[in-house]
Chains A and B, each alone.
Chain A
Amino acid sequence: MSPGPFSALSRFLGHFRWAFMPLGLLALIAVGVHAAADTLDDRLLALVDLADAAFDRVVGRYSLTAPLVDLLSLERRTTLARALALVWELTADAVLALPALGYREETSAPVLSSLHLPRRDTWRAMLVRCLRKPTTMRWIRPLATALVAVAGACTVARLVQGSVYLSWRELLGEGVADGVARGLALAALAGLLWRLGWRAVLRNLQHADAASEQHARGFARAFAYGLPGSALVAPLALAAALDASPLWSFVR
């Protein structure tokens, strides 16, 4: 394709950034959250087992409540653990991914793709407020978003690599398909982190900053406001970093 139509197509698509960028950010975070949640279901099952054992110990003491011991079979416990993982993931999506829908850019020069940032919403200004007026939301939400965005980018890159290698192998030959698949996976990983990842973090920081400014005045409010949501996403973010972000595997 010559640079002319290529550039025209790019400019044309740039007019729709208001639609695809928020959705893209939302999807990247959702993929990352799922990658993290998927690693937690076994641990949730262990927790459900512990809770069920304690429950059975209590209800098993009395003949009236003893039948409740059979309430949770192993099959039901497994289903319950998965259902908990699902609820956890969807709630984390609501906490981390939904704010991405509020992403806005300058409308006058859409292709420039810079965030529309009033002076008080620049990285620097918001980071200064994080340090001077720390709140649970200001620290946990952007950090969690950053970690799940990396996990999301790894998942998408892995999918690109597998799809390209297995579908192009017969056409291009083993060596070429492998090289192309690795190259595209790395490109997808770098591109996602460069073009979408930081925007997702910035958007979440903006959201957390605005919410903190409005609701989290005073030490107690700064700590408590948004605490349940932050407590919910923190373990997922940790799982995303430890178990779902094989960054180095793409260069091995």
Chain B
Amino acid sequence: MFPRHVRGLLDFSLAILCLWCAWHHTPAGALVRRTSAWVLGSRSTARPLLAYYDGVSGSGVSAPALAPVAPPLRPFTDSEALAYGTHLALKGLSPAARAPAFALAAELGIPSASLLDEIRGPAAARKLHESLASAFPHEESRLTAVFAGPVPARYAVSRVAAEGGAPNLERLSRQLPPGFEDATVAAAQALALATAFGLAWPVPEHTPVTSPFGYRHHPILGTRRLHTGVDLSVRVGTEVRAVAEGTVRRASEDGVNGRVLILDHGRGVTTAYCHNSELRVRPGQRVARGELIALSGNTGRSTGPHLHYQLELSAQPVDPLRFRPRPSPVANDAAR
């Protein structure tokens, strides 16, 4: 196929191609880059080593940091949640990384500044999504189109289709060459935020919150520490339901969390339910939104019957009340 006298060049080109790929896309390459930067006293551009396994959250602002300060005034529809998530993720991006979304907005006659505006932002982001809905019916490919641009998104979708399987963000981002990291991170953040806005509540809506999210003096340990969820005052035996469809990642019992369940809803969203009296599901089981998963209780390190409900975005705890449309009554005034 190739004459022998050109094989030197061919082999050299292929070896360089492999080295370039390893240099930029493997943790081993990042280690070499960091070491050489350290030796030369320069600044390394390599990503943190663990970010190479993250797929879509290597840099930038984390999703919990982008969570809204105030909860939404009314329940969102799916498209509204996606638009609001997009607006919040755009706000967290660097000006350079916002360029594809701004270019798309300009094409549609939407002022770029409105995408970042507190009031007009969600509506402007929704217009972006509506304009892309026919070309990108799948939410995750549409988000890729918003943050990376329609052309790279279309390319990534076609390659994922060629490989077979659903076009999720991780697979889409794998198809894009270097330079799109910020876009895929932002798309993942928008998706996590949108998913969190769409979560139901695990117990009846009127259930009082006895201890909110945030730093507090622990009622048993007496030390000041972060309360990573909200305590919902429910009687022993109250039905606890899945806030969204997902997979049971953990169903176990220990002396602190009592009988505990962790559900993985995908898209970077996880919920945990602690101190139950009875677990109704097993690890690995798929559950539907609203499905009975446990009966609440008073197990583990607990001062009385309650459900500790915890929401995590990108593996970091966040206040679930910031994503809940209607404010729930708080039983303990001091905890407000």
Contact surface of A with B, Cβ cutoff 8 Å: 6-7, 9-14, 16-17, 20-21, 23-28, 30-31, 33-34, 37-38, 41, 46, 49-50, 53-54, 56-57, 59-63, 66-67, 69-70, 73-75, 77-79, 81-83, 85-86, 89-90, 93, 97, 110-113, 152, 155-156, 158-163, 165-167, 169, 188, 191-192, 195-196, 246, 249-250, 252
Within 8 A of A (CB), among B52-69: 52-55
* Any A CB within 8 A of the CB of B164: yes
Per the bound structure, the CA–CA distance linking A161 and B158 in Å amounts to: 12
Neighbouring A residues of B21 by C-beta, 8 Å? 27, 31, 152, 155-156, 159
Q: Are A89 and B151 in contact (CB under 8 A)?
A: no
A-B contact list, 23 entries, CB within 8 Å: A6-B6, A10-B6, A10-B7, A13-B12, A14-B8, A20-B12, A27-B23, A33-B26, A34-B26, A37-B53, A59-B254, A60-B253, A66-B301, A69-B254, A73-B317, A90-B31, A111-B8, A152-B18, A166-B155, A191-B10, A192-B18, A196-B14, A249-B163
- Please, which residues of chain B bring their CB within 8 A of the CB of A77? 315
Chain B residues whose CB sits within 8 angstroms of the CB of A89 once the complex forms? 26-28
Report the interface size class on chain B: 35 or more
Judge whether B288 is part of the interface by a CB distance below 8 angstroms: no
Pick the contact of B14 from A38, A49, A158, A191 — CB < 8 Å? A191
Within 8 Å CB of A81, what residues of B?
53
Query: Given A28-B18, A69-B255, are A74 and B312 neighbors across the interface (CB < 8 Å)?
Result: yes
Q: Does the CB pair A60–B254 fall under 8 Å?
A: yes
Interface of B is mostly: helix
Taken together as a complex, chains A and B put the C-alpha atoms of A70 and B19 apart, in Å, by 42
With A38-B55, A75-B316 as contacts: A169 and B151 at CB distance below 8 Å: yes
Q: Mark B266-307, 1 if CB is under 8 A from A, else 0.
A: 000010100000000001000000000000000011000000
Q: How far is the CB of A17 from chain B (nearest CB, A)?
A: 7
A27/B255 contact (C-beta < 8 A), A10-B8, A82-B53, A85-B53 known:
no
